[in-house]
């Protein structure tokens, strides 16, 4: 930590959608000194070339080779899957005080064999998986400080776990038949999304994809079981929307006998009463992603249906903030004992 009580930070993967949101927020954070902004292309350019929101004078874009590692306190890695593990594996043992927040999937999956099968990538840092922490801050804040590698969760899984985990733990809903229907803006696929999605009228249509084998399914499966110690049977149906950012997850549940929509809502209110970013709306409130865009908030609405004992939980987040960069900063705040909402107005 520098003499000004600021931590020295590098962002690797500075020019992607997530990296730019991260730098924009970090540039206004009172406890952060940005030392390195790294990318593989556009070396020497100023970061405001890519994001006009960034007004402060920051280091120019350089390669990772320019980093002086022992001067850093924290590294954010916003890289394609498979890349962060190589860098962390190289520097974890050399720099005993250096911490890492990885926004890729490299340390999200506890079993490297499931990771390799799911992402078609050989894991280069298997021994470090058990030294990392998968961290949704609302669930992990009491023990995050014990870890130096933080796996930032996926955007879809964040929107799904926040409403479901407290309810399953309290045995309020059936864990045998949950349907999760999630819709996301195309920024979630990164800047090369046009190569990933080639369907007709990309910018004017809604598109359903990977219903059986979406990459986030093992992550959701793992974390629901880890938190609740129950096997949760769910289907997950992702959709791409012709909008840039935002996620709305619609989660269809059956309440257990004798439980009501008010029981569900009150349980979530009680569970999140000290959480700054989780907003439980009034019963049967219409909801979209509009209220949460550019914020680290998650809005949750419990809605009754015409079918007895069947409810829909709507969960809305900004996929680039609470689903990525904002959650990463929230994790950083807890990791370094800052106020949890610092820099996340």
Task: Determine the structural domain holding residue 11 and report its residue range.
Answer: 7-152+323-335
Helix 155-169 and helix 261-271, axial crossing angle in degrees, nearest 10: 110
Can you list the alpha helix ranges (DSSP code H) found in 141-259? 155-169, 193-196, 217-228
Token output for 180: 């999760």
Residues 272 and 123 in one domain: no
pLDDT in tens, 27-67: 999 999 999 999 998 888 988 888 888 888 999 999 999 99
Q: Is 232 helix (H, G, I), strand (E, B) or coil?
A: coil
| Helix or strand holding residue 208 (H, E) | strand 207-208
Catalytic amino acids?
155
Output the pLDDT for position 1: 59
For position 212, what pLDDT does the model report?
Answer: 82
Same domain, 12 and 24: yes
Residues 123 and 247 in one domain: no
What is the rounded distance in angstroms from the CA atom of residue 224 to the CA atom of residue 154? 14
Tokens coding 310: 């069947």
Residues in CB range of 74: below 8 A, 6 or more apart: 7, 8, 9, 10, 98, 99, 100, 101, 332, 335, 336
State the greatest distance between any 2 C-alpha atoms of the chain, in Å, as a whole number: 63
**Secondary structure of residue 193 in the 3-state scheme:** helix
**Mean pLDDT across 147-156:** 97
286: CATH: 3.30.360.10
- Do 264 and 235 fall within a single domain? yes
Residues 216 and 268 grouped into a single domain: yes
Return d(Cα 138, Cα 272) in angstroms, integer: 8
Average pLDDT of span 320-338: 97
The CATH number that applies at residue 68 is: 3.40.50.720
Q: Is the pLDDT of residue 333 over 70?
A: yes
The reply to whether 30 and 68 lie within a common domain is yes
| Backbone phi, psi, residue 19, to 5° | -60, -40
Q: What is the mean pLDDT of the chain?
A: 93
In a domain, 343, yes or no: no
pLDDT tens per residue, range 216-245: 999 999 999 999 998 999 999 999 898 889
Q: Is residue 315 part of a domain?
A: yes
130 and 220 in a common domain: no
41 with 181, same domain: the answer is no
* Cα–Cα distance, 149 to 146 (Å, whole number): 10
Q: Does 42 map to a domain?
A: yes
Concatenating the DSSP letter of every residue in 84-99 gives HHHHHHHHTTT-TT-E
Same domain flag for 11 and 38: yes
Say if residue 129 is in the same domain as residue 165. Answer: no
Say yes or no: 51 and 131 in one domain.
yes
What is the β-pairing status of strands 298-304 and 310-317?
Answer: antiparallel
What pLDDT was estimated at residue 168?
Answer: 95
Q: What is the DSSP-derived secondary structure letter of residue 146?
A: G
Does residue 160 share a domain with residue 98? Answer: no
How many independent structural domains does the chain possess?
2
The CA R_g of the chain, rounded to the nearest whole Å, is 20
How far, in Å, are 88, 118, 223, 301, 344 from residue 251 at the CA level?
36, 24, 16, 10, 27
């Amino acid at each position: 930590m520098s003499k000004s009580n600021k931590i020295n930070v590098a962002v690797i993967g500075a020019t992607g959608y997530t990296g730019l949101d991260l730098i924009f927020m970090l540039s206004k954070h009172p406890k952060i000194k940005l030392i390195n902004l790294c990318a593989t292309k556009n070396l020497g350019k100023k970061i405001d070339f890519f994001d006009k929101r960034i007004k402060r004078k920051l280091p120019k874009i350089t390669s990772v080779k320019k980093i002086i590692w022992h001067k850093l306190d924290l590294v954010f890695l916003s890289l394609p899957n498979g890349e962060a593990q190589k860098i962390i594996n190289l520097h974890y043992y050399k720099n005993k005080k250096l911490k890492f927040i990885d926004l890729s999937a490299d340390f999200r999956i506890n079993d490297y064999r499931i990771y390799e099968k799911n992402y078609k990538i050989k894991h280069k840092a298997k021994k470090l998986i058990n030294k990392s922490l998968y961290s949704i801050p609302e669930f992990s804040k009491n023990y995050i400080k014990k870890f130096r590698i933080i796996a930032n969760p996926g955007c879809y899984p964040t929107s799904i776990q926040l409403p479901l985990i407290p309810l399953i733990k309290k045995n309020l809903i059936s864990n045998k038949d949950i349907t999760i229907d999630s819709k996301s803006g195309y920024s979630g696929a990164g800047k090369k999304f046009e190569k990933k999605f080639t369907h007709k009228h990309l910018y004017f249509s809604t598109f359903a994809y990977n219903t059986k084998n979406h990459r986030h399914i093992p992550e959701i499966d793992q974390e629901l079981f880890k938190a609740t110690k129950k096997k949760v049977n769910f289907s997950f149906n992702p959709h791409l929307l012709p909008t840039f950012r935002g996620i709305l997850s619609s989660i269809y549940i059956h309440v257990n006998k004798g439980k009501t929509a008010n029981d569900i809502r009150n349980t979530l209110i009680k569970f999140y009463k000290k959480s700054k970013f989780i907003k439980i709306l009034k019963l049967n409130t219409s909801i979209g992603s509009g209220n949460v865009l550019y914020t680290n908030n998650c809005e949750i609405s419990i809605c009754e249906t015409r079918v007895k004992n069947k409810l829909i939980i709507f969960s809305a987040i900004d996929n680039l903030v609470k689903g990525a960069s904002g959650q990463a900063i929230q994790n950083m705040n807890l990791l370094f004992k800052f106020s949890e909402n610092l820099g996340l107005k």
